[in-house]
Structure 1
Amino acid sequence: MTHDRSTTDHPGDGVPRTIGRVLLGGLLAFAGTSHLTFAREEFQAQVPSWFPVGTDAVVVGSGVVEIALGAALVAAPRRYRPWVGAAAAAFFVAIFPGNVAQYVEQKDGFGLDTDAKRLARLPFQAVLVAWSLWSTGAWRAWREARAHR
């Protein structure tokens, strides 16, 4: 018997993907909650000085978005998971300038108290983008949609 992936596997299915998706959702929800509570000042170090919105408003707003994305990663029905994964990936891309600003402006936060540590952190944003897309099946859904054009 052959295994037809298109009819038996769905974006985001499989134990490794499920674990990855739920773990990322939990981490986002935790990070979002920490934005609003005990790590608020630490997150303010990641808001670029040039950003035209108040630092605390950015931290609170991004915390709320992280909580919502985390919950959606955990609870979204299968058919919406690729969209949630794409939204989480887009969020990670959107906040990347804050990570760059923390490096360029030499702001300390979360133990990132040297240029080397701040610079070493930057590539991990790509890992979060890839994790979002993989764990939700967004990459697979995009490839399948492209193949049907």
Structure 2
Amino acid sequence: MTDSSRATRNLVTVLAGMGTLHFAVPKPFDTIVPKQLPGSARTWTYASGVAELACAAAVAYPRTRRLGALATAGLFLAVFPANVQMAYDWRNRPLPLRTAAYARLPLQAPLVAWALHVARNSRKSA
């Protein structure tokens, strides 16, 4: 198995797992939906779960992998405000929780890079 196929498989697994969690355990996701967004937090939680599952499916299928990986990079950027909201909301929590919330912010960059790596390598293997 090549590094690019491993990266692809792992990206699909992460997206599918997180997308499923949005439906199985939605409450934690509801709490980090920015309050400025219109509508209910649960609607946004479910919508982002659908987006993650759709991205997982697109990345898994070779014909749509490049577009799916690019959409995934966009999705990772789009959910960044939720991570900012979480960091803000957790600013007075105990240090371990606050640290976890703040650590999510810079981790978004490697996630975007990962998706872009899969997109680039999908062109080579297509």
Shorter-chain TM-score tier: 0.7 to 0.9
Contact 2:59-2:66 within 8 A present in 1 as well: no
Give 2:117's aligned residue: 134
The one-letter code sitting in structure 2 at the alignment partner of 1:45 is T
Aligned partner of 1:74 in structure 2 is: 60
Distance 1:128 1:33 in 2: 18
Cα gap change, 1:72 to 1:44, in 2 (>3 Å): same
Larger Rg: 1
Q: Which residue of 1 aligns with 2:84?
A: 100
Say which of 65, 87, 93 aligns to 2:71: 87
Does the 8 A contact of 1:81 with 1:137 survive in 2? no
Q: Which amino acid aligns with 2:40?
A: G
1:55 aligned to 2:41? yes
Unaligned segments of structure 2, at least 5 residues: none
Q: 1:24, CA displacement in angstroms?
A: 0.6
Deviation per CA, 1:60-99: give whole Å up to 9, x if none: 111011111011111132xx43222111100100110010
Mapped partners of 1:53, 1:101: distance in 2: 16
1:114 corresponds, among 75, 86, 97, to 97
Query: Whole-Å Cα distance in 2 between the matches of residues 68 and 56 of structure 1?
Result: 18
Equivalents in 1 of 2:90, 2:34: separation in Å? 11
Identical pairs, percent: 32
Is the Cα contact below 8 Å between 1:26 and 1:74 reproduced in 2?
no
Distance 1:121 1:28 in 2: 16
Which structure carries more helix by proportion?
Answer: 2
Secondary structure in structure 2 of the residue aligned to 1:124: helix
Secondary structure in 1 matching 2:79: helix
Residues of 1 paired with 2:70 and 2:40: CA distance? Answer: 27
Report runs of 4+ in structure 1 exceeding 4 Å deviation: none
* Residue type at the aligned position of 2:116: L
User: How far apart are the structure 1 equivalents of 2:13 and 2:53?
Assistant: 9
1:32 matched to which residue of 2? 19
